[in-house]
Amino acid sequence: MPAPFSPQFMLLSNITQFSPMFYLTGFPGLETIEHWIFIPFFLMYLVAILGNCFILIIIKTNSRLHRPMYYLLSFLAFTDLGLSVSTLPTTMGIFWFKSHGIYFAACQIQMFCIHSFSFMESSVLLIMSFDRFLAICHPLRYSVIITSQRVIRAGLAVIFRGPVALVPLVLLLKTFPYCGPRVLSHSFCLHQEVIHLACTDTTFNNLYGLGVVVFTMMLDLALIALSYGVILHTVARLASQEEQLRAFQTCTSHLCAVLIFFVPMVGLSLVHRFGKHVPLAVHLLMANVYLFVPPMLNPIIYSIKTKEIRHVIGKLLGLRKFSAESWS
């Protein structure tokens, strides 16, 4: 692949106005040790893909797990799997084949997938927080309100709101002319980076993108925080400390998933919006943590903290004492 500022790359990137070539930097300044950086990324991909596939297979094949809570967990595993696969081609292409170039159409598809699965995960975490809210605050009504059919319908309806809202945002990028070397600082395409390379007024795209984020992910985060506020208030009113601890322990897995997803997401958004003078290394770190860490940690967290999944794993491994007590 030609270097980003070479005549060959500039010629290749100007083949057509609507299908320019972008250059994915990956890890600027660390090209000489990329083969070492490959190792942790390969392990993260391995854990994320195998772990989430394992969760999906366990839930699919075990009839005891065909319940609303585990349908939501399968939604979460599916979005984490999609998020991992979305970044896999270009990231591994840089490591394995030193292939840094990507055509605009491929970049569009990748950014749509990355942002869509991010919005989906946010929506799934919101539904899971509502599930925990009903289980703790209204336990007698839980089985009446939360049924398998309702969870599946609500999940499918809510998780597709983000991708639908993203369609015009991504398609509008095709109408912009792109100037300069067209170099992207990550090993994958993000909308907030590509839009900065357009040599025209992008005010509408910026405002529309901000609106989509506010009314999807930010709204989800606010509603999740509200639900946990009510949960904490309800737990604090329980009679004994043992009951309080038992009630709150049912939320720990979900709370961990919320934190490892939303904390890097908020940090990345703030860095892109207001961190023009922040070192590039911070941008790269926040983006990689946001996209790679949640899909890797979520299956580990739920495998450790969920009793039924531990029981299935124990049966598969032939361990008699692989139970809740052994992890307490």
pLDDT tens figures, 255-312: 999 999 999 888 887 777 776 677 777 778 888 889 999 999 999 999 888 877 887 7
Does residue 231 lie in a domain region?
yes
pTM across the whole model: 0.86
Does residue 1 lie in a domain region?
no
Does residue 64 lie in a domain region?
yes
**Long-range contacts for 287-293 (Cβ within 8 Å, ≥24 apart)?**
287/186, 287/190, 288/186, 289/264, 290/264, 290/265, 291/83, 291/87, 291/114, 291/188, 292/41, 292/44, 292/45, 292/48, 292/84, 292/87, 293/44, 293/260, 293/264
Does residue 121 lie in a domain region?
yes
- 237-249 average pLDDT score: 83
Contact 326, 225 (CB under 8 A): no
Cα dihedral: 267, 273, 278, 282 (round 10): 40
Residue 143 has pLDDT above 60, yes or no: yes
Domain that holds residue 175: 21-317
Strands 21-24 and 183-184: parallel
> Tokens in use for 146?
């939360």
290-308 in b/e form (b: 16+ CB < 10 A) is bbbbbbbbbbebbbebbeb
Confidence band of 15 (pLDDT split at 50, 70, 90):
very low
Residue given tokens 């991010």 in the structure block: 118
Does residue 328 lie in a domain region?
no
Does residue 5 lie in a domain region?
no
Residue 128 has pLDDT above 90, yes or no: yes
For 29-43, 97-111, 205-219, 245-259, which range has the lowest pLDDT when averaged over its residues?
29-43
**pLDDT value of residue 305:** 82
Q: Give how many domains the chain has, as a whole number.
A: 1
Does residue 66 lie in a domain region?
yes
96 against 10, higher pLDDT: 96
**pLDDT value of residue 319:** 55
Query: How far, in Å, CA of 132 to CA of 98, rounded?
Result: 46
Residue 318 has pLDDT above 70, yes or no: no
Does residue 166 lie in a domain region?
yes
CATH number of the domain that residue 184 is part of = 1.20.1070.10
The percent of residues above 90 in pLDDT, for the chain, comes to 37
Three-state SS at 319: coil
